[in-house]
Chain A
């Protein structure tokens, strides 16, 4: 009788399929030309760096792009985060949380949660930058 020890498979991945997909085929990679807001942040935990740029039109995020110097999970997190915030209003995006990224990615290993926090921080930094550059937009109704 043979017992399956799981040792014969040839396809293991460090992260789940969704994370691997976003790492290998990142969405929204690059920089928005003439961005309305840019946020660059570094992770205190590991030293990785994420940069997110936004195009905002009529109070709504039209385009979001990222560049990441970091681990696979950081790249996947920034890819997913930019996907998620596209189309949201600035006000909505201000309450964006890393939990959404984790959920959409189908989970991250515990030690990699901070990578999704980095994505949240990069988005918020970009929104801050947008508000600084467009003080008139700060008070404007966004719906």
Chain B
């Protein structure tokens, strides 16, 4: 069957060069970097090379500022908890954007159950954080600011450099989660003013099982994983050498191919959004329009009157891999906190689909998706009581209101007892 992969935010295949670099680490170069013999020294050397490759990707001053973890989630946990614990004598307050990844928000919630407090800064309808709102949230107790580079769901590129300037003025470390942008957008930790920054190599053709935390040498950070003295004492546990080596190679190739990857995915992104608008009615793009303020790899759509899991399942049956932020897809049965934070109506969030492009997608695949998706929407609308009522003029579209009938969102909310729009608190 024909396969079109449009879920690069979830995972990417490793590059052949990455696999080739990793392979020796399983067989002849299997040593533990902490060992003092040839095997160990060889592994140690491999780690040093990977650190330099990662440092170059994000313009870190020194490879010593790069720490390897088990993944982006652990990197975020280490950044948030490690900075909080290291600074608890200075203060107990954290400022984070409301649409951070669950690994960030979950870490903050964990700290709130202890002696810490946090302010979640809301975003506008496009998903942008206002740097002035961050400034306003700071207190003399604030010890960490966390604003991600790009939102994983919406694709919005956040004004991190502006936040970085505020952080610098106040002498507060800024943590930037760059797991959605690493390998897809230029990243310069120095220009951003980031004291900490995390990456997830498996999002840019590296392997799973490895994450990266950059830490500026002056930012205080304590370990949250205790044991041996690996990673400069900031992360105990024998290093996952094969994955780290793979991450390094993936970073080096990403740096080299970045302009090409951006140009290619931007072209496909524009084609995709144009195609969808052309073929399907009552679709809304969530997040900024394709262009300078949106990452070139993602589109977040809400198709009205139908639900997202059904869209995902039918696409999958046609060989197309996509994701959805619908409540039916999540294990918690809640719509994504990101869609809630931008004030999207629950009924529209139900119809959510998230597409993420990669370097190997083709225009032809995009056209296949658009044609298939149009059929999927038609099939599901044929099953939807809401579409039927809309056709009859009993309920009205939220995306393009005609003025006839009650709004879809209000109708759905009355039936299910769900708020029409979950505005941020």
Contact = CB atoms under 8 A, between A and B. Distances in A.
A69 B385 contact: yes
A51 B305 CA distance: 14
Contacts of B1: 10
Given A51-B385, A72-B309, A46 B328 contact: yes
A86 interface: no
Nearest to A52: B385
Contacts of B305: 69
A1 interface: no
Contacts of B333: 45-46, 111, 114
Interface in A104-142: 111, 114
Nearest to A78: B383
Interface in B324-346: 326-329, 331, 333, 335, 346
Given A42-B415, A69-B305, A69-B307, A47 B385 contact: no
A40 B307 CA distance: 17
A70 B417 contact: no
Nearest to A112: B328
A24 interface: yes
B384 A69 contact: yes
Given A47-B346, A48-B350, A49-B385, A71 B307 contact: yes
Contacts of A43: 416
A10 B350 CA distance: 29
Contacts of B326: 71
B384 A72 contact: no
Query: Number of contact residues on B: which range applies?
Result: 20 to 34
B388 interface: yes
Interface in B373-422: 382-388, 412-418
Nearest to A118: B416
A31 B331 CA distance: 31
Contacts of A40: 385, 415
B384 A47 contact: no
B317 A24 contact: yes
Given A23-B313, A70-B307, A75 B327 contact: no
Interface in B223-278: none
Interface secondary structure of A, over-half rule: mixed
A123 B245 CA distance: 58
A67 interface: yes
Contacts of A45: 327, 333
Residue among A44, A46, A70 having the largest count of chain B Cβ atoms under 10 Å? A46
A28 to B, nearest CB: 11
Contacts of B335: 47
A24 B310 CA distance: 10
A37 interface: no
A29 interface: yes
A14 interface: yes
B313 to A, nearest CB: 5
A44 B346 CA distance: 12
A81 interface: no
A96 B356 CA distance: 43
Interface in A8-36: 10, 14, 23-24, 26, 29, 31
A71 B309 contact: yes
Contacts of B383: 26, 29, 67-69, 75
Contact of A48 (B307, B382, B388): B307
Interface string B310-328: 1001001100000000111
B212 interface: no
A50 B385 CA distance: 7
B398 to A, nearest CB: 13
Contacts of A68: 383-385
Contacts of A14: 313, 316
A74 B333 CA distance: 13
Contacts of B94: none
Contacts of B328: 46, 48, 70-71, 74
Given A47-B418, A49-B416, A31 B309 contact: no
Contacts of B350: 46-48, 69
A41 interface: yes
A49 B415 contact: yes
Please provide the 10 A-B residue pairs with the shortest distance between their CB atoms, ordered closest to farther. A42-B416, A42-B415, A71-B328, A67-B385, A51-B385, A71-B309, A46-B327, A69-B384, A47-B418, A47-B416
Interface of B: 1, 305-307, 309-310, 313, 316-317, 326-329, 331, 333, 335, 346-347, 350, 382-388, 412-418
Given A42-B415, A47-B418, A67-B384, 18 more contacts: A23-B310, A23-B313, A26-B383, A29-B383, A42-B412, A43-B416, A46-B350, A46-B416, A47-B327, A47-B335, A48-B328, A68-B383, A69-B384, A69-B386, A70-B328, A71-B309, A71-B329, A114-B333
29 contacts: A10-B1, A23-B313, A29-B382, A40-B385, A40-B415, A42-B415, A44-B416, A46-B328, A47-B335, A47-B347, A47-B413, A49-B412, A51-B385, A67-B383, A67-B384, A69-B305, A69-B306, A69-B350, A69-B384, A69-B385, A69-B386, A69-B387, A69-B412, A71-B307, A71-B309, A71-B326, A71-B328, A71-B329, A72-B309
